[in-house]
Amino acid sequence: MDKAKRNHPYARCRALFLGFLVVCLSYWSVKADDLAGVDLNKGASFIFGDSLVDAGNNNYLPTLSRANIRPNGIDFKASGGNPTGRYTNGRTIGDIVGEMLGQPNFAAPFLASNTTGKAILYGVNYASGGGGILNGTGRIFVNRLSMDIQVDYFNITRKQIDKLLGSSRAKEYLGKTSIFSITIGANDFLNNYMLPVLSIGARITETPEAFINDMISHLRNQLTRLYQLDARKFVVANVGPIGCIPYQKTINQLNQDECVELPNKMAKQYNIQLKGLLTELTQNLPGSTYVYANVYDLVMELITNYDKYGFTTASQACCGNGGQSAGIIPCGPTSSMCDNRSSHVFWDPYHPSEAANLLLAKQLLDGPTKYISPMNLRQLRDL
């Protein structure tokens, strides 16, 4: 073998001890053009969940749950005010958190055709409107991505990252500079266990406690699967005060300052078990960090003291129709819309406005352990 061939990178790889071969081959698999302009130190957000953080995956599904119609997205600057599939007037909490952590691009929807190549290194969004922890949740919408399917999709992304970075570098990138956020569970109550008419059978055969135990068991498996795919830094949101959303207030004909008791009670029961699950996983999965986002108390604070934060109402949907809280018909072209979107805690019958999302995101980023524990997201990023 001549000198030039002996000095070829692949030839040198073959000559090395087997333990170093994988690293060398991984390095060899990286093409400089694939990573041009990508700063891996900025990290990435891999986002799982439901409509609270869906960035447009449902646009690509034959589903009854979609937000790619006006006036959704009217304040989303990146699209020029056009709908993107986000269930709010602007950015989701996931968008805002990524932006404030310095990530240069929003995590793109997994199902979008351009979510390929180096674009996935900025993060990927797997969330789906109507999705839940349990696979049966949201069947009223015909199609949606359950948490199990979302993890399956991340497995595809995981293999793509290996091809881009090589296995060793990919593992470090996912473990040290990426944050995995999970915002899911509300639909398991609203569009499963407590769904009018369709869920009566389930409620007869399964107690609320048994249903919540089932949710926790499934979520344990889902989070463990992500860990096995090299995720290490997690933030998991609890379920918010779903009995206080305009939809619940409207169908139950409540006053402005009232909330439906059963949904909130079940959310709080689930949240207690979720916190224990995250403690358990942190102890049992070496190198993992699970951060608990107390969205329930955060949103309840906004609802209770809305005027303190510059809002004029926490009961009326800005965009919607039907009932005293405009809480029956989802936001669409024929909906009434408030004049000042930043004055409403809720954009539509179910989802916060961008103004509310911004306040929530700031607390998750830099807030106290009352709202985000054992550390906030900026501390998690720097861990």
The catalytic site residues sit at: 51, 348, 351
Largest CA distance in the chain: 86
CA 212 – CA 125 distance, rounded (Å): 26
Q: Cβ neighbours of residue 225 under 8 Å, at least 6 residues apart?
A: 151
Q: Determine the distance from the C-alpha atom of residue 96 to the mean position of all C-alpha atoms in its chain, rounded to a whole number.
A: 12
* Tokens, residue 107: 């995590």
Whether 144 contacts 49, CB under 8 Å? no
> Nearest 5°: phi and psi at 193?
-65, -35
Decide: helix, strand or coil at residue 181.
strand
Q: Six-digit token pair at 286?
A: 């070496």
Closest by CA to 208, choosing from 131, 278, 295, 267, is 267
Q: How far is CA 5 from CA 1, 12, 30, 32, 167, in A?
A: 6, 9, 20, 22, 26
* Alpha-carbon torsion angle 132, 85, 112, 237, nearest 10: -40
What are the φ and ψ backbone dihedral angles of 356, each rounded to 5 degrees?
A: -70, -40
